[in-house]
Each structure stands twice: as structure tokens, then as C-alpha cells.
Structure 1
């Protein structure tokens, strides 16, 4: 538990006698940071910075400061949150220096958003601080089940344990970190760039989505007789829960898409098995569905799959190929299982049998990539908001291999990274970066082949780098991984020679701690759901947890 107030004050006085007043420790920007000191920062980067102290096992010592790539900060609860927020100094929760809160719980306007922005603890979002005025403060990581009050957090607590997290808490418990829950207040950094954690905002809509506690939500079409929608949650290579709630059928040859909201719940989108091949939406938590529907009865083209991503305010955006005569790119936005707007702006055609890829930008807009219906099967890009597109184009006339789909992800600063299988003789992995509907650079580095009929998956890393996964053209059809920046690959490998089922594509996300999680349909006799986690081009663990079959 936290040090009692009397001991905290004694420790503060002792530290003051040794080092001077507990005022600012000026910090330098981390060379790998996406943010600058006191500048805009995503919640995802906050959590990544917090995890770095956990990984380094930084001790609790109010009289000392810790220096690493994050800067120099005091080794206590308030120094820890100051580090996570990338402030220019280590604030305090007591008196005697720049503060997080006043004694009555009001935030410091130099750092906090206006009082009331968070409200009670039910309004917390990843990256917020939770302070007990005069006593303690910790970093909120995210909801694991908001309905029951369960959440995870990071903290420096007392000298007996180093920095820890993601640790479990519940806002309905009488105490959190040894102090009465009723005395805590929520604080939101005024320079946080989005209410959606950075790793969510910079994730491509697919069948895998990260959670704030370095875990994941996953959705897939099962091999049961109903071809049901299966969902699960877990971490590493383990599934803590899974199931096929409501026995909701998924159309043959398609895959569902899932995204995590800021409250820890998920939203999934898929093409249903109804006669209309409608776009279906469901919300849930873990392996349970809380609501399901096929709003507006919007048809999805046979053999194609929607892409859904989270937006600020627990809203979502979804893109898909429609069943209209033009096979247009359709867009919709909504919340829960309700669509507030849907449209096929500009009647932009999508190549038959392919699916668009969608990513959310930090400002609440979206970026979408798809294979066009033009004679070149070009890579098309568009940006917009809600169900409207503000700009689109097929820059550089870059061809996409027939029957495959690109993968796009937002990078810090509003740029994007897109990966696809090219139409060249090698069916190489192609990469491009740009913004809006423009490409600034494109290349097929290393001439890395992608298996016919499959598509790569790309995810963003801190500092503007990327991680990409794909099924290779080697004899084993192995899972390949690469990392790099822009259109350059710094490393590529097929670790563990893990086979991917013919015609199947992996789905990749990066986690708040900077590692990756990848899921795919294996080449084993069961065509099991396989999971792997790692860093760079190395896999630290791989498994086919529970031998769950994928259609």
C-alpha cells in the first residue's frame, strides 16, 4: 500500500534536506519518443512509457531520480505519472512544489483539463491519472469490464515493490492502493491527443485488437456447423475466455473485424449469413455479447469483409464493399449497435473479392485504403469523417495483386503507412507512406514475396516505425515479420517457421508496451487459431491455444 501521509511527509523532508526542494527536475525528450516534453502525447504512448519503468523494475525512492530514455524523474508515485505524461518536471501530490491537485481535489490548470472533464471515476479513460489529494497518484490503464468496475493501472506504490502494472483494481471496492476509493479524483492531461489510446487509434481494423493491459480481443469465423462468430480475450499466447455467443453466423469466405473501445469493451463487425448478407454489428466484453443487430440492413458484397475501428467517445467507424451494382466503398459511423450515418460517397468502386482497410486518425477522422476497380487494380486512398470523404485518389497508380487487400495504419502526426501485395512478377510486399490521399514514398524493399491470394497486416510502433506480418511465398508458407520506417525495412524474418493455412492472412497489432501480437489460421490438421507475441522480427512465444478451429 502507499506510504502513510506522515511517513510521506517525513520522506519528503528528508529528501528536501538532501537534494533541495521537491521542485522540477528538468527532463530531456526521449530520443525514441513520439512526443516532446510538455507536448501533445497519445494515451498509448503514456502507457508505453509507464510499462518501460515496470520492465526496468524502477524502485520507489522519494530521495532519488531515475534516468533513462524517457528522461529524469523522481522515483515515487507522482514522479512516475509525471514521467508517463512526459512532463518537464516531477510534480507532487503533497505541498512544497508544482502539484497535481490541490487539497480539495482540484487539478492544476497548468497540466489538467478543466475540472469536471473526467467526472467521477466511471469517466476514466486510458492515460488519465487517479489522485488521492495529499497522498497518492497512479496511472489508469483501461477498463477490463466497465460494467463491473474492473480496471488495470500502473503505479509506484511503496519501497517494498518496484514500479508495477498493469495491476488490477475495481472502483467499487472500498479501497484502491490502500486508500479509500471515495477520496480519489480523476485527472486528464490537457495535452492528451485523443480520448482513444494511441495504440487503438493507430491500429488497422482487423480481427485482432489490443487492450490497454497489453492483452487483446480477437474475433474469427468458427469451424462449427453454423460458421458462428467466435470471440475471445487473452494475452501473450493464452486465451482467458472465448465462445460463440448468440450463435451468430458469419458468411462463408469472410472474416470479422473487432476493435476495442476506451472502456475496455469491444465492437465487432461482420458479413452475416442472412439472405441480404447484411453488415452486422455487436458489442460485448470478453466472450459475452451485450447487444447485436443488423442496422439499416446494409448489404456487404459476397466474399468480402468489413473493417471497423474505434473513434473518440466510444464511437466507431466501419468501411466495407457494398452489394450495389458499382461494388462501392461504403462507410458508416455509430455507437453501440446503432448507425448514425451511412453512405457510399463518390461511388468509389472496390475490386471484386477484396476488402477495404480502415484506420482512425487522432483527430477523429479516418483514412481508408482499398484495391480499386480500375483497369490497373490500383491502390486507392481516401480520408474523411463520419460517412463523408474529403479527399481521395489512386496516387502513383500502384497495382495491387488480384484478390488481395491492402492494410493501412495511422502514424503519429497524421501520416499513414500502407502495406499490400504488389502486381509485380514476384508478388512482393510493397510499402508506402503519406497523408490524406497522397503518397510521399513507395517501395518493395528486399523483394519479399507474399503468398498468392493473401494480404499483409501492418501496425504502428512508437516513433513512427511499423511492424508488418504476412504469409510468405516460401515452401512452408511461413509467417513472416518485418519492421522498419517509411518504405524501408530494417529487419525481416520467418521465426519459428510457423505455417499459415493456404489463402489465409495474419492479423497483427502492436501493444502498449511496444511488443506485437499476431493471430493466424494455422496449417495444422485442425486449421487452429494460432497466436504469437514478440518484438521486432523475433517471436518470444507461439501457441494454438485450445486448438480452436478457424473456418
Structure 2
């Protein structure tokens, strides 16, 4: 049940490891975020290793697959994205020796005289149980994740004592994605903020959040839970939060979500699946959810925002690193357009958007080291030629936005270590100073939802 908050737990950390399994026809791993001989994450090493398993690459020292020799050390060289196929005796030249107890996914066990294999991770470190990938011999094609025990007398046919543990010199740990629970704070129609936020979702694994308000005043809060999918929690028009969230998408690989409500009472939720693009799912006015439809296949998108205009059109903004922000429209009749680049700043790291009652649309972008920039689309459909800097705080990490019925607009910015700051644009177009509405420095994501009665809800994840 919801409870009043006076303090919050620090954000938990979860390691998101993507394990794509597709391979390219030419024999190269599909996942190639790294460059040859460059830094590579542990999850990418395992993804590259899995690509040979999926392709059933046979052991054959005389042939190459994707440019790498088809044996144990060639397999490790491929997984580490080296420029050439090393051998068991030379793999230590690009590695540092570790103890067995320090092994991490992507490291190797190397018997320099004869064999090597990739360590995939502990399944029970106390007992010594782990999994690994290997290219063993002509009778045993590339396999894994295979179970073994570090205390066994032999592994892969060789005495365990013959192996040393090594760590590739360019391997790096995967980024840690913060996670936490969801809290909601209300601003009344008269402008007063609640003294405390209320916890509306106690699932501590939430990594991203979005919201949308239906014309009848109900609020939908969408949360992303890695490995589980997207969950929807509803606040009724009378102010009661549902006791439980409903899973609306079971894709555990989703990393971002956005939502927008149309004037006809339908709700659209967009999800981002790394490598697969953007997918849109609809909730009808009767409350039933549709299956999702892919609306953008760009595998490089990293963030989303969306807004619905009063004429029934829907705008989806996608952030592509090193490229900028792209806007895609769904007409009131339901047809999707191609995307249009509206901002070519390749350094943007986060985005939000909101539509005003007059039919104009605002897109707010976070530029690390610079602050928050606002770009406007007029009610006639013309995008402003340049963005306006509305916040000079270069530490802003994420942002959300919403419009109120009186034509004003609120932009809420998350500053790590400082909390959430609310900035208002009046109906006349003047921007206010920012006000600290939540001082919890652990907040990492936020949503803003304006209601028909003029009140507003700002949600946070911490």
C-alpha cells in the first residue's frame, strides 16, 4: 500500500547484461559495440562467445570463421575482439594473471601448453560452481554456457591445476544501471507542493519510469523492470492509487519507456528494445491492451519521449547518440510517418516532451556540461530553428515535462546529489527560476503529469 515518505533508500545497482544471440551471415558476431583491440565490456565478450555457439562453429584449426581460427585460442581471440588469433602461449601477453577467486565473466582459464576457455560467471561461488564457453576439439563444437566446478580435479580434460586465470587488459566492467522504488509528489492547482512524497511502487528493481494523464483525470505510471518487462500502475480520477501494477509487456530486455494519452481516451506506450528499436502498444478506452508494433527499427536509439496534440496526432521523439533527436508522427487516423531530425546535437543524453493546450509542442534536451535546452514546434507544425537554453546546470542527468490546462508548462530536472528541480514556463512564454522540490540526491529518473484540474504529479525513482 502507498506510504508517506520522509526518507528514501539509496538506489540499488543492477547489472544489465544483454545476451543477444543472433549472428551475421558472414560469420561475424552481431554485437560489435567495441573496436578491434579496443575496450570491450564483459557482456559483449559473452555475447560474442554465444554467437559461435548459435552458429555451431566446428573445431578446425585449419579454417577460419569470421576471420578467426576455429580452435580454443582463436575462439577466445574472437570473443575478446582481438585483431588476430593468438595461441594459448601468447594470450597472456595481452592479459594479467588473476587468482581463481577473482574470476569475472569474460576472463579466461589458460593452460598455456594446450587449452583455454572463457569463464562465463559463478553460479555458486561458495561451492566453486561456474559456467564457461569453449571450443574444445573436433568432436565437441563450440559450446556453452557449460557447467563446471573450480574444485574439480580436471576441466575440459586437463588437470585444473594446469590452468591459470587471466584477464584481458582491455576488458571493462559493464555500466551499472541504478534501480529503486517509485515515489509521487503532488502540486495542487493553487501551486502548493506536498511536504512529502508517497511511495506508489515498492519494487526496488525499477530502472526507468514514464507517465501519461487521460482526459478523465486518471494517471498511468509505467515502470521498466529489467528481466521482467513494463508494468502499469493507475491513479484514479478520484485520487486512489491501484494497490498493484499490471504487467503490459513481458519483454525483459526493454530499457526505456514513454507514454502519451490521446484526446479520445486511448493511451500509447512506447518501449525501447536495444538492437530492435521502438515499439508502440495501445490501451483502448475500454482498458484493453493491444500487442506491440515496431514503429522504428533503428538499433542505436537510447532514449524516448512522446506527446499527444489536441488534434489527435501523436509525436514520438527518439534520441540517437552522435546524431541527435528524431521526431516521428502518428496521425489522428493512425498512420505513422517517417522520422524527421529536429535537433542535430549529438551530445544530448536525455529528452522529454509535452504538448500545450494551444497545439504547440516542446521538446527538452539534456546536454551534459551545458544544461537543458527547449525546442518548440508551433501549432502550425513548424519547428524552431534553434533551441533555447532554459537551465545552465551542466550536471542535470534526466528531465521530464508536462503542460497544465492554463497553458503553463513545467520542466523537472534531476541533479544527482541534489534532487529534483522544477522550472515553469508561463502561458505568456516566460521561464521562471528553478525550485528544489525534492532534495533526495539518490533520485535518478522522474516523470511529470499534469491533470485536468490544474494539479500536477511529479514522480521519482530512487
TM (norm. structure 1) is 0.42
Identify, as 1 or 2, the structure richer in strand.
2
Greater radius of gyration (CA): 2
TM (norm. structure 2) is 0.49
